[in-house]
Amino acid sequence: MSDGHHPVRWQEADPIMEAVDALLAAKVPVVPIGEELERWQIGDLIFSDADLWRLAASRGLVEDAERSL
């Protein structure tokens, strides 16, 4: 643990945490799975980091880098 609050991976994954924060702000209950935070649960569904980012981007909650090029 880096600062006693979150595993190091949270700090390394700023784009993913941006997506998590945006989804939480939109009242989407995102729950991390495991100590490595490589999977995320929303309801009965499990998402990878990439899938979680795509979900947030599809809702317009984060900027989709591919579309902005």
What are the pLDDT digits (tens) for 4-59?
A: 454 545 455 478 999 999 999 999 999 999 888 789 999 999 999 999 999 999 99
Alpha carbon distance 46, 1 (integer Å) = 24
The token pair that represents 25 in the structure block = 């702000």
pTM of the model: 0.71
Judging by DSSP bridges, how do beta strands 30-33 and 45-48 pair with one another?
Answer: unpaired
What are the pLDDT digits (tens) for 41-50?
A: 999 999 999 9
Going by C-alpha positions, the residue among 11, 15, 7 that lies closest to residue 36 is 7
- Domain ranges for the chain, please list them: 8-62
